[in-house]
């Protein structure tokens, strides 16, 4: 068994889904590991990761609206150190999760035809985000 690890950096434009599939796939290809498991981990509490539809942009818009309905901005939160979108961003990140594990075969992630890996920015303004990526395999 071999393993490799790296940290990928992204500048987000603000709230939304940023597809990072190609970034992860490129690093995975350079690792030389052909079979195993890749773990992708978001190092933040107001951003998250998800695997979802990567063909129809309407899916991502609908998901953002749904998340806003579940955790709307407002005065009902005790924690608002960084503004009214602070606590809702933490709730959304908790709901969507901070890590993904994906099987790797023949040097490629075994994602479905319409699946993409997304870094989800839950804050209104852009941020510098870090995503740790680890592959274990052979």
Give CA–CA dist 68/48, Å, rounded.
15
**Average pLDDT, stretch 17-32?**
98
In this predicted structure, what is the pLDDT of residue 55? 95
Question: What would the pLDDT profile of 33-71 be if each residue is shown by its tens digit?
Answer: 999 999 999 999 999 999 999 999 999 999 999 999 999
Q: Does residue 24 carry a pLDDT above 90?
A: yes
Q: Does residue 74 carry a pLDDT above 90?
A: no
42: domain range?
2-137
**For the chain, what is the domain count?**
1
Give CA–CA dist 27/39, Å, rounded.
12
Q: Give me the CATH number covering residue 84.
A: 2.60.120.460
Angle between helices 57-70 and 86-96 (to 10 degrees): 120
Q: Does residue 75 carry a pLDDT above 90?
A: no
Q: Any residues with CB less than 8 A from the CB of 81 and at least 6 apart, and which? A: none
Question: What would the pLDDT profile of 79-93 be if each residue is shown by its tens digit?
Answer: 989 999 999 999 999
């Amino acid at each position: 068994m071999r393993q490799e690890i790296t940290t990928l950096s992204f500048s987000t434009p603000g709230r939304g889904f940023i597809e990072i599939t190609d970034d992860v796939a490129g690093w995975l290809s350079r690792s030389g590991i052909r079979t195993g498991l890749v773990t992708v981990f978001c190092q933040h509490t107001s951003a998250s990761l998800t695997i979802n539809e990567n063909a129809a942009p309407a899916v991502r818009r609908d998901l953002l609206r749904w998340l806003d309905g579940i955790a709307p901005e407002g005065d009902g939160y005790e924690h608002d150190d960084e503004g009214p979108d602070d606590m809702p961003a933490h709730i959304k990140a908790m709901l969507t999760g901070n890590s993904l594990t994906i099987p790797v075969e023949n040097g490629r992630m075994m994602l479905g035809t319409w699946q993409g890996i997304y870094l989800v920015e839950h804050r209104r303004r852009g941020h510098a985000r870090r995503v740790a990526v680890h592959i274990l395999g052979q």
